[in-house]
Amino acid sequence: MVATKKYSIIDAETGALDRRIFVDADIYQEELEKIFGRAWQMVGHVSLVPKVNDFFHSYMGEDPVILTRDNGGRLHVFLNMCRHRGNRVVRADEGNAKNFMCTYHGWTFSNDGRLEHVPGIPEAYYDALAMDELSLIEAKVDTYAGIVFATWDHEAPSLEAYLGDARWYLDTVFNRRDGGTVAVGPIKWLQPVNWKTPVDNCSDNYHVPVTHASAAAVKARFIGRPRPTMEQQLVSDARHVSVNGHSITTRPTGSTGLEILAGVTKDNRERFERYHEETLPEVERRLGRFRATQVRLGNHSLFPNGVLGFRLALPRGPLLTEFWDFTVFDKDAPEEMKQALSAGHAQNNGATGLNEQDDIDNWRQVSEASRSPVARKYRQHVSMGVGRAGAHDDYPGVVAERYISESNQRHFYRRWEEFMNAESWADIPIEPMTANFEGTAALHG
C-alpha cells in the first residue's frame, strides 16, 4: 500500500496551488522544523568575519545563530542559546570576542562552542557538572564562494550536492574573480508577507513589464536608453531553470549583463565595460569560455529562502518576513564601481528600492488574500508553461521552453512538499550533478 502524503499542495497538471501554506499557523510551525531545521541556509559571508575571534549574528529560520571564526581561523555556526536555561549568549550584531558570557548566571562559552566557565561549580553543582556535554549547539557549516551556509541536520548532503548544478549558473556572478567577493550589509526591514512569496517572485519574469513599468521608465531615462517594450520583455532568449528547488534565470546569450546591472549609468558605463573586458581572460580561465561569455545569472532564489543573491527572507510568522539585504561585490573591483553598484542596488532592490516597493505591495495582497476562507476555496493559478520544460543540450537543470514561465515556481512548491512530507533527509531526493564545470572555479572559490 502506498502511504498517503501529508501535503499535496500543487497539482502538476493544472498548477493549482493550495493557499493554506501562506497563512496556516500549524503549517508554519512545521516549516520551521522540516524546512528550516534541515535545509542548507545562507547565514553570512567570510568577509563579515575576516579576523580570528570575529563574530556575526544571524538567523536560520527564527533561530538566532552566531557565526564565529575561532582562534584557529575555523568557522562555526552556533545556536545563540545558553545551555543552562536558554538565555542568548550574544546580544550584539557583530564584534570580536574570544568567548561569550551569558548575562543571566554567567556561564561562559569559547568561540569554538565549548563551555569554559561556570560560576560556583563546587557550591552550586557539588563539583559534578558534565561541562564537556554542554557546548553550544553547533550547525554543520560550509562555504560557497565566500558565502557561509549552515544546516542543523548533520545527515544533510554536502553543500556541493545541495546546490548541485545551480552552482554552474551562480558561479557567473559569485565566482568570477580569483580574489573572491565581499558582502556589505545587511539592511533589515519587516514585510507583511509570507516568506515564500518573495522567493516565488524571483522567477516571476511575467510581472516585470507591468509591476515595474514606472520604475523602468525612470531607469530608462537615467541610463539613457529607450524603454523596453512589453513584447521585448516577454519574448527573450533568457533561460528559466530549476535545480533542487533552486530557481535560476539567466540573461540573454552574448549578454555582458551590463544592460540590466543596477548602478550602470550613461556616465559610468564605459568604466564598467572596461572592467568587463579587462577581467574577461581571468573569468574565462575560471568558468570556461561558454559560461564567461554567454551565461549571466539573473534573478534567482536558493531553496528555501535566498532571494536574489545573498538576501534572506527570514520567517517571522505566517504573515511576516524579516528581510535581510546584503550587496555582494567582486573584492578587487575598483572603488568607484563598488559605490555605483551599491547606489544602484539601493535604488532598485532594498528598503528604499523602486522595485522592492512595487513588489512588496503585490506580495502583501497575495498573502492576505489567502486569509479569507472564501478566497481560499479558489486556488492560486500557477499553470504557465505546464508541460513545456525539460532537459537542454547547453544548460543544466530543468529548463523551461520560455523565459516567461511558472515552471520554477511549480518546482519550488514541489520541493516544499518533498521537505514537508519527508521523515528525514533520506527521503528527500537530490538531483545528480551533470553540468560540465569547465574552468578552475570550485565550491570554495
Q: Using CB under 6 A as the criterion, what x/- string covers residues 235-274 for binding ligand FES?
A: ----------------------------------------
Q: Which is nearer to ligand FES, 115 or 238 (CB)?
A: 115
CB of 86 to ligand FES, least distance (A): 6
Q: Which is nearer to ligand FES, 87 or 293 (CB)?
A: 87
Contact between 53 and ligand FES by CB under 6 A: the answer reads no
Residue 114 contact partner, candidates ligand FES, Fe ion, none, CB within 5 to 8 A by sort of partner: none
Please give the Cα distance from 176 to 332 (Å, whole number). 11
Residue of 173, 161, 165, 157 whose CA lies nearest to 398: 165
Contact between 356 and Fe ion by CB under 5 A: the answer reads no
The residue range among 149-157, 167-175, 358-366, 377-385 that interacts with Fe ion, by the rule CB under 5 A, is 358-366
Do strands 246-250 and 297-302 pair parallel, antiparallel, or not at all (unpaired)?
antiparallel
Query: Per the structure block, which three cell numbers stand in for 366?
Result: 497575495
CB of 212 to Fe ion, least distance (A): 6
Residue 359 contact partner, candidates ligand FES, Fe ion, none, CB within 5 to 8 A by sort of partner: Fe ion
Residue 102 contact partner, candidates ligand FES, Fe ion, none, CB within 5 to 8 A by sort of partner: ligand FES
CB 350 within 8 A of CB 202: no
Q: Which is nearer to ligand FES, 88 or 392 (CB)?
A: 88
User: Cα separations (Å) of 24 from 19, 318, 368?
Assistant: 9, 7, 12
- Find the radius of gyration of the CA atoms of the chain: 23
Q: Using CB under 6 A as the criterion, what x/- string covers residues 96-125 for binding ligand FES?
A: ------x-xxxx------------------
SS3 346: helix
Q: How many alpha carbons fall within 13 Å on the CB side of residue 360?
A: 20
> Per-residue b/e over 189-220, b at no fewer than 16 CB within 10 Å?
eebebbbbbbbbbbbbbeebbebbeebbeebe
The residue whose grid cell reads 573591483 is 333
CB 234 within 8 A of CB 208: no
**Long-range Cβ contact pairs of 97-106 (< 8 A, separation 24 or more):** 97/53, 97/55, 98/53, 98/71, 100/55, 100/66
CB of 137 to ligand FES, least distance (A): 14
User: Cα separations (Å) of 229 from 6, 117, 219, 220, 284?
Assistant: 45, 66, 14, 11, 33
CB of 287 to ligand FES, least distance (A): 48
Angle CA(186)–CA(56)–CA(143) in degrees, nearest 5?
90
SS3 52: coil
Contact between 222 and ligand FES by CB under 6 A: the answer reads no
Contact between 359 and Fe ion by CB under 5 A: the answer reads yes
Which of 53, 87, 265, 294: binder of ligand FES (CB under 6 A)?
A: 87
CB of 119 to ligand FES, least distance (A): 8
Contact between 316 and ligand FES by CB under 6 A: the answer reads no
Q: Which is nearer to Fe ion, 165 or 359 (CB)?
A: 359
How many residues sit in the footprint of ligand FES (CB under 6 A)? 9
CB 413 within 8 A of CB 10: yes
Q: Using CB under 6 A as the criterion, what x/- string covers residues 55-84 for binding ligand FES?
A: ---------------------------x-x
CB of 82 to ligand FES, least distance (A): 3
What is the contact surface with ligand FES in residues (CB under 6 A)? 82, 84-85, 87, 102, 104-107
What is the contact surface with Fe ion in residues (CB under 5 A)? 359
